[in-house]
Amino acid sequence: MHVTPDTPPRPKRRYARRLPVEQRREHLLDAALRVIARDGYESVSIEAIAQEAGVTRPVVYSAYDGLEPLLHALLDRTQRRALASALRLMPQPGGDQDVAEWALEAYAALLDIVRKEPDVWRPVLGLTRNAPAVVRDRIDATRDLIRGYLADAFQEGLERRHASAHDSKEVDVDLLAHLTLVTAEEFARLTLEDPDRYDKDRLLATIETLLSSFTDR
Amino acid sequence: MHVTPDTPPRPKRRYARRLPVEQRREHLLDAALRVIARDGYESVSIEAIAQEAGVTRPVVYSAYDGLEPLLHALLDRTQRRALASALRLMPQPGGDQDVAEWALEAYAALLDIVRKEPDVWRPVLGLTRNAPAVVRDRIDATRDLIRGYLADAFQEGLERRHASAHDSKEVDVDLLAHLTLVTAEEFARLTLEDPDRYDKDRLLATIETLLSSFTDR
DNA sequence: CGCTGAACCTACAGTGGTGTAGCAAAGAGG
DNA sequence: CCTCTTTGCTACACCACTGTAGGTTCAGCG
């Protein structure tokens, strides 16, 4: 008669598919993103990512030096994807389009982009709660960057107007940039959370009204 | 000759002042708030709170059933303090003040309140990063509540205008409430983060311009 | 002044994550 | 078919926090 051990010697893990480091890195970033999307930032750990990726922790450590570097890399990737398209919305240096017109088009384009790639934008827009310090700092820095571009764009656009017509309304460009960005984020969030209720036309109509206060008359 | 142990038997903790449960609870909430303000939400733990309060963990457990209930209580307290003053800004039911006028005054009052009690408002405005799920959910719910009030106020105010003058401009009250709230939060943040740069007058001037687009003409 | 109960403390067992050393398997090249 | 390198796995030591059982202190009251 033989003894059955109370914990049968676990059937030994099956070997995961072998990947060169670079591919493994991508693989891990994808896994991390899935974890974040599913369970939120508070549940992200080397352990969780390894498990999601179907791999053991040492594998993760061989690709990244720890959780922070990994998240950092994930942010880099996201930034390349999201920031790039955001900046593309900025007015062309040589363009002579009217500011209000440009702003409206930029909003429209943004909403399109966001709805097309929700997985890229959701974490950016803070829908994924509890981002750790690294993440928040990065997002904040990016936000500042964009706001700077926005302020410049408004400044230039309004000056050009000034030159042609001579309506000398004083506008606080800095605050305008703040408001524009905050509004854009809120609207993007609304589009993501409830696309049916907050459709593009509805959002844009309100934006138009809003813009008029700064640029009309 | 006697042996000096390598770890000298720690001099036995001094007894903390004894407090009845209710007072201890307040004490712990204060400690928790300090921890959050100093180290952020990600560092909040029973352990950290106990230490900050100069007390051992079992004491915390005798006051609250764990971290979540404690944070919940902290939120209740904050809500009593913050939400109350926020709701007081809403227009009086019997009042017949103009909407735009009221909105501007409410903004002004909000900025005053926020600057007067930064410790109450900082966590509410999300300046303290990484709020755990409980906290975020609560803040979100409160935000929804306030937005509801806002929407009602605008609806009513605009209808009254409609009645007297007959400027029948269509306004998306729901979105207007969204924008108002988001703007208020951003401005409150700005006031808290850089009061010199973003003084009250500057912020209010921009608000006034903004409001005009929805209510003028 | 001694008792008693409320309020604290110490100590321990449990859980889940970290980071690393060293062995095992895959699979490419001879 | 054997060998060597690369990639993955197991196993361990460690840490921080959780939750609780059981002993200790102190303040108030008879």
Residues B144 and B174 in one domain: yes
| Mean pLDDT, chain B, whole residue set | 86
Residues B192 and B122 in one domain: yes
Is there a domain that residue B173 lies in?
Answer: yes
A130–B131 C-beta distance less than 8 A: yes
Is there a domain that residue A16 lies in?
Answer: no
Gap from B23 CA to D26 C1', Å: 18
Distance CA A137, CA A86 (A): 18
Residues A57 and A111 in one domain: no
User: Where among A11, A34, A64 does a domain terminate?
Assistant: A64
Residues B95 and B199 in one domain: yes
Q: What is the pLDDT of residue A94?
A: 64
Residue A23: pLDDT band (50, 70, 90) is very high
Is the minimum distance from the CB of B45 to strand D below 7 Å?
yes
Top pLDDT among A17 and B122 is at: A17
Is there a domain that residue A164 lies in?
Answer: yes
Is the minimum distance from the CB of A51 to strand C below 7 Å?
no
Residues B105 and B190 in one domain: yes
Is the minimum distance from the CB of B55 to strand C below 7 Å?
yes
Gap from B81 CA to C13 C1', Å: 41
Residues A139 and A34 in one domain: no
Residues A39 and A145 in one domain: no
The CATH number given to whatever domain includes residue B47 is: 1.10.10.60
Amino acid sitting at position A171: V
Residues B169 and B88 in one domain: yes
User: Where among B8, B36, B64 does a domain terminate?
Assistant: B64
The CATH number given to whatever domain includes residue B191 is: 1.10.357.10
Is there a domain that residue A41 lies in?
Answer: yes
Residues B120 and B27 in one domain: no
B131–A129 C-beta distance less than 8 A: yes
**In this predicted model, what pLDDT tens digit does every residue of A81-130 receive, in sequence order?**
888 889 898 887 666 788 888 999 999 999 999 999 998 888 788 766 66
DSSP state of A13: P
DSSP readout, chain B?
-----SS-----PPPPPP--HHHHHHHHHHHHHHHHHHH-GGG--HHHHHHHHTS-HHHHHHHSSSHHHHHHHHHHHHHHHHHHHHHTTSPPTT----HHHHHHHHHHHHHHHHHH-HHHHHHHTT-S----HHHHHHHHHHHHHHHHHHHHHHHHHHHHHHHHS-------HHHHHHHHHHHHHHHHHHHHH-TTTS-HHHHHHHHHHHHHHHH--
Residues A141 and A121 in one domain: yes
| Residue A93, domain extent | 74-215
Phi/psi-derived region of residue B15, left when phi > 0, alpha when psi is between -120 and 50, beta in every other case: beta
Distance CA B80, CA B25 (A): 16
Residues A195 and A119 in one domain: yes
B7-16, B95-104, B109-118: segment of lowest average pLDDT: B7-16
Residues B87 and B170 in one domain: yes
Top pLDDT among A4 and A78 is at: A78
Q: Which chain A residues are Cβ-neighbours of B130 within 8 angstroms?
A: 41-42, 130-133, 136
Burial A74-90 (b: 16+ CB within 10 A, else e): bbebbbeebeebbeebe
- Count Cβ–Cβ pairs < 8 Å, chain A vs chain B: 79
Is there a domain that residue B7 lies in?
Answer: no
Q: Which secondary-structure segment (H or E) carries A35?
A: helix A21-39
**In this predicted model, what pLDDT tens digit does every residue of B164-199 receive, in sequence order?**
665 556 789 999 999 999 999 999 999 999 999 999
| Number of domains composing chain A | 2
Q: What is the pLDDT of residue B4?
A: 42
Residue B94: pLDDT band (50, 70, 90) is low
Q: What is the pLDDT of residue A97?
A: 81
Chain B residues with a Cβ under 8 Å from any Cβ in chain A: 40-42, 129-133, 136, 171-172, 175-176, 178-179, 182-183, 186, 190, 198, 202-203, 205-206, 209-214, 216
Is there a domain that residue A14 lies in?
Answer: no
Chain A residues with a Cβ under 8 Å from any Cβ in chain B: 40-42, 129-133, 136, 171-172, 175-176, 178-179, 182-183, 186, 190, 198, 202-203, 205-206, 209-214, 216
- Per-residue 3-state assignment (H helix, E strand, C coil) for A161-205: HHHHCCCCCCCCHHHHHHHHHHHHHHHHHHHHHCCCCCCHHHHHH
Is the minimum distance from the CB of A12 to strand D below 7 Å?
yes
| Mean pLDDT, chain A, whole residue set | 86
User: Once rounded to an integer, what is the mean pLDDT over residues B105-113?
Assistant: 95
Residue B40: pLDDT band (50, 70, 90) is confident
Is there a domain that residue B15 lies in?
Answer: no
Q: What is the pLDDT of residue B100?
A: 87
Q: Which of B139, B179, B183 to probe by mutation at the A interface, max A CB count within 10 Å? A: B179
**Beta-carbon neighbour count of residue B161 at 10 Å?**
17
Using the predicted structure, report yes or no on whether residue B35 has a pLDDT greater than 60: yes
Is there a domain that residue A40 lies in?
Answer: yes
